[in-house]
Amino acid sequence: MTEYRQSADIDPWRYEQGAWHEGFAFVAGLDEAGRGPLAGPVVAACVILPVGFSLENIADSKTLTHHQREKALIRIKNEALGYGVGIVDSETIDRINILQATHLAMRTALLNMRPAPDMVLVDGLPVADLGGFRQLAIVKGDRLSASISAASIIAKVTRDAIMVKYHQTWSEYGFDSHKGYGSRAHLEALRRFGPCPIHRRSFAPVAACLKHGIEQKTDSA
């Protein structure tokens, strides 16, 4: 069952309830964080929420504050029936491309789940190979599905923590603030210092630095 759904005003449990009504007991939301940055991994997360789970501060992770996301993450992990995370590093992203890396992260997140879901609500477009899991793709699902919203929070908080940790090694890039996205400060640091080992060399701004002879950075400043 794969289709596109979009609505401006929708019950955040509508898709979960539809799947439950069809007999699917373990319905997971699946989302990713980090497709666009110039550095760091892409992270996917999936989660199965219990019936009656409170949706306080459960929304598209991009609309929440850092404090709201951290608080929501604790509650999701404590109350979820199950969740899984998949992480694909920048070297793999360069080798197989960001789309395939995102799909790999999603499959990994699903394989890391216990219990395994019998239906997956996917944010955005269908995933061609989801490892045999049945899926329903929902356009803007991180805004429209409670489970996908929760997955988006897990993915973003997990990835942000990774980037903050990388900042301890390569502080000159400011990964703790922009998390690897192409901010003005990040682009200036990239032009000044060149790429570090976690930069995605297949992404245009990084490739441009290498093309113009800015040396790859291999240690911290």
61, 147: one domain: yes
Enter the tokens of residue 147: 């489970």
**Residues whose CB is less than 8 angstroms from the CB of residue 178 and which lie 6 or more positions away in sequence, other chains included:** 185, 186
Establish if 59 belongs to a structural domain. yes
Exposed, middle or buried: residue 88 (CB in 10 Å: 0-12, 13-18, 19+)?
buried
Residue with tokens 């070297």: 91
Establish if 104 belongs to a structural domain. yes
- Residue 47, beta-bridge partner list: 29, 83
Mapped onto helix, strand or coil, the DSSP state of residue 27 is strand
Establish if 4 belongs to a structural domain. no
Per-residue pLDDT of the chain (221 residues; tens, 9 = 90+): 433 344 446 799 999 999 999 999 999 999 999 999 999 999 999 999 999 999 988 988 989 999 999 999 999 999 999 999 999 999 999 999 999 999 999 999 999 999 999 999 999 999 988 888 999 999 999 999 999 999 999 999 999 999 999 999 999 999 999 999 999 999 999 999 999 999 999 999 999 998 876 655 554 43
Establish if 161 belongs to a structural domain. yes
Amino acid type, 210: L
124, 207: one domain: no
Helix (H) / strand (E) containing 158 = helix 146-169
This prediction's pTM? 0.91
